[in-house]
């Protein structure tokens, strides 16, 4: 328990509004989690997909260049190459789009954390204000119910005392 630190209160509205995002305090816990998840959710799946695509290409080349391929196999390979080219024409723009999106996400991962910290601070501030407002609303109801329960307990004691 000694390694745990109590989180500091989020900055005020004025601090958030008047301070550039890069100068606001960072939340180290969420920043570390963000860096871990970046690898596993973006770069690892892209790497696995790239390895699978390269492996499929190498497997196709090895299968086509294997000894003992007859003349029918050569024509089958040629027709397969034409089918693959047709599919590549459709898939290549998607690969370019997803590659661009991956690059954009990588760029945004470097730029966005300060803005996410601002949103986190606003959320914490809203939570504090909501908790205060709810206490303000609930407190009279609890006091009334407490008084009724106290009176009820007193009345039961009086009834027991007088034998009812």
Q: What is the largest CA-CA distance in the chain?
A: 113
Q: What's the pLDDT tens digit per position in 74-109?
A: 667 777 887 888 888 889 899 999 999 999 988 988
User: What are the Cα distances from residue 160, in Å, to 52, 146, 147, 150?
Assistant: 83, 21, 20, 15
Q: Is the pLDDT of residue 5 over 60?
A: no
Looking at residue 8, its pLDDT comes to 66
Question: Where residue 38 falls among pLDDT bands split at 50, 70, 90?
Answer: confident
Looking at residue 1, its pLDDT comes to 43
Domain boundaries of the chain, sorted by first residue: 27-111, 113-164
Looking at residue 2, its pLDDT comes to 47
Q: What's the pLDDT tens digit per position in 12-35?
A: 777 777 777 777 777 788 888 888
Q: Is the pTM of this model over 0.85?
A: no
Whether 121 and 10 have beta carbons less than 8 Å apart is answered as yes
Q: What's the pLDDT tens digit per position in 131-163?
A: 999 998 999 999 999 999 999 999 998 888 887
CA distance 9 to 14: 14
């Amino acid at each position: 328990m000694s390694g745990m630190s109590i989180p500091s209160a989020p900055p005020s509205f004025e601090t958030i509004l008047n301070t550039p995002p890069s100068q606001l305090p960072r939340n180290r816990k969420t920043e570390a989690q963000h860096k871990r998840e970046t690898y596993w959710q973006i770069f690892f799946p892209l790497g696995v997909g790239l390895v699978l695509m390269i492996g499929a290409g190498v497997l196709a080349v090895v299968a086509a260049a294997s000894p003992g391929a007859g003349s029918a196999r050569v024509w089958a390979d040629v027709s397969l190459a034409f089918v693959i080219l047709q599919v590549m024409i459709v898939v290549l723009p998607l690969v370019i789009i997803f590659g661009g999106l991956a690059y954009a996400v990588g760029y945004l991962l470097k730029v966005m954390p300060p803005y996410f910290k601002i949103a986190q601070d606003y959320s914490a501030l809203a939570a504090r204000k909501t908790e205060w407002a709810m206490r303000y609303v609930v407190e009279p109801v609890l006091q009334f119910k407490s008084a009724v329960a106290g009176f009820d307990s007193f009345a039961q004691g009086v009834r027991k005392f007088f034998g009812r």
